[in-house]
Structure formats: C-alpha cells, structure tokens
Amino acid sequence: MEIHIHLYPMTTIVLVRKKNDVVVASDGQVSMGNTVIKSNANKVRKIEKRNVIAGFAGSTADALTLFERLEAKLEKHAGNLTRAAVELAKDWRTDKYLRRLEALMAIGDKEKSFIISGTGDVLEPEGDVIGIGSGGNYALAAAKVLMDTELNAEEVAKKAIKVAADICVFTNDNIRIEKI
C-alpha cells in the first residue's frame, strides 16, 4: 500500500528520539506565497501535563485547533498517546468542520512518535526521526545521518533544521525546540 502525504509548504518540522530524549524542532518562518511574513513563529508545542510534544506544518489556525483537540483527546484517554492520535485522526477525517483543516502533525511522548494527517493516517515511522513540511525530507535525511554521531537529540534536531534551511526557501534557521 502506498501512502501519499501532502507536504504542506512553508515550514520544516523534525522530531528526534535519541537515548532518553525526545525533541521536536521547527523553523520560524511564516510565508504567504513568496513573501516572508514572520521569521520567528513558534510551530511546536508541549502538553506539560501529559509530557507530549507536537510540531505542526500547515495553516496556523488549523494547527492550533488540532493541537487543542489533541490535548482534549489525551485528557479523555488518560494520556494514552496512541489512542488519542487515532481518535483525533478519526475525528479529523469524518467531522464536517475538521475535514477542511489543512495541517500535518508530528507528535511524540517518551514511548512513541506519530505523524497524523487529515486523511485519517496515524503513522508510526520506522526509526527515531520524523520530518514533515516543505523542508521535512531534507531535515529527515540530515537527522538520520546525524543519529550515528555523538550528538544528543537536541543537537541533531537543530543541525537538521539548519540543513533544511540551507535548501528549502520556505525554511529559515530561527529554530524553536520543545523536548521531553
């Protein structure tokens, strides 16, 4: 089965799991078409109470709506990230309002990492790195190479975003980090 994930433009998110650390990093650029609107946006969030981190690619309003929904699902399912992710994806795919939201999420806790899409996908990629957004594949490739070094998870994520920023015009190197 082939899985097609639309790479939402204008951002780079990377999630890295190494040793006991889990880090999600993003660039800070917000663009409209070919114009940079903001260079220091925060596209990563942490749910302190549940020790979950998330990064978003796509529309800001849509991403924030989905983050709030994820938070509610985590509360409803006592912090079970797998169950919360599946329920969010199910709602996202079937709800008339949510179905129109255009975003992609990379989420993780101490045990698992997922990509959640509006098509109902809840993907648990192989390996310890996730990359999403227009620069996601560049960051993913860089992070995979860096995983075999002595760098820690945060250093891997930062360097991966910097590589993506050098290649993707919709990505800058104003990096935001959340970790657990």
Q: How far apart are the first and last CA of the chain?
A: 33
Range in 1-5, 32-36, 85-89, 165-169 the model is least confident about? 1-5
76-91 pLDDT, tens per residue?
999 999 999 999 988 8
Domain assignment present for residue 43? The answer is yes
For residue 97, what pLDDT is reported?
Answer: 67
| pLDDT level of residue 99 (50, 70, 90 thresholds) | low
Find all residues with CB under 8 Å of 97, minimum gap 6, and list them.
Answer: none
Cα radius of gyration rounded to whole Å, the chain:
15
Domain assignment present for residue 164? The answer is yes
For residue 55, what pLDDT is reported?
Answer: 95
Domain assignment present for residue 7? The answer is no
Range of the domain at 50: 18-179
Domain assignment present for residue 104? The answer is yes
For residue 5, what pLDDT is reported?
Answer: 43
> Domain with 83 in it: what CATH number?
3.60.20.10
Predicted model pTM = 0.89
Hey, what are 130's tokens?
């996730």
**Is residue 173 pLDDT above 50, yes or no?**
yes
Which residue type, as a one-letter code, is found at position 22? V
**How many structural domains are present in the chain?**
1
For residue 143, what pLDDT is reported?
Answer: 98
Catalytic residue among 11, 12, 35, 94: 11
For residue 107, what pLDDT is reported?
Answer: 96
Domain assignment present for residue 3? The answer is no
Domain assignment present for residue 11? The answer is no
Domain assignment present for residue 34? The answer is yes
- Helix (H) or strand (E) segment spanning residue 146: helix 136-146
| pLDDT level of residue 2 (50, 70, 90 thresholds) | very low
Domain assignment present for residue 128? The answer is yes
Q: Any catalytic annotation for residue 149?
A: no
For residue 83, what pLDDT is reported?
Answer: 96
